[in-house]
């Protein structure tokens, strides 16, 4: 039970970071507008909530983790694209 609680706390922290990123990231905030960050954050929060109630917890956590990784990939791709545009 401690492991499940620790994973849930990690997802809550990640969602908080995704929620606050657009307002606290300075110049990098342009890479992830609120609509993008908040949509992925809502998906992670919903997946965790469903994993604790309607679907098996492992599936909910995997779905939440995949959305978190997808958000990071989108940020990374947008950062690489911005750097290549600046370099050109």
Residue 18 DSSP SS3: helix
Looking at the 3D structure of the chain, how many domains does it have?
1
Contacts for 26 with CB less than 8 Å, ≥ 6 apart: none
Q: For residue 17, what pLDDT is reported?
A: 87
* Residues 10-62: tens digit of each pLDDT: 888 988 988 888 788 777 777 778 888 889 999 998 998 888 789 998 898 89
CB atoms within 10 A of CB 77: 11
For the record, the structure tokens of 88 come out as 């050109």
Q: Answer left, alpha or beta for residue 33, where phi above 0 means left and psi between -120 and 50 means alpha.
A: beta
Instruction: Provide the domain limits for residue 32.
Output: 2-87
- The answer to whether residue 66 scores a pLDDT higher than 90 is yes
DSSP 8-state assignment for residue 27: G
Beta-carbon count within 10 A of 65 CB: 17
């Amino acid at each position: 039970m401690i492991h499940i609680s620790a994973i849930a706390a990690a997802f809550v922290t990640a969602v908080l970071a995704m929620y606050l990123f657009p307002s606290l990231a300075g110049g990098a905030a342009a890479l992830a507008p609120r609509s993008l960050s908040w949509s992925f954050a809502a998906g992670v929060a919903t997946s965790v909530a469903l994993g604790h109630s309607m679907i098996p917890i492992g599936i909910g956590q995997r779905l939440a983790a995949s959305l978190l990784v997808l958000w990071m990939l989108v940020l990374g791709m947008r950062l690489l694209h911005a750097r290549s545009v600046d370099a050109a």
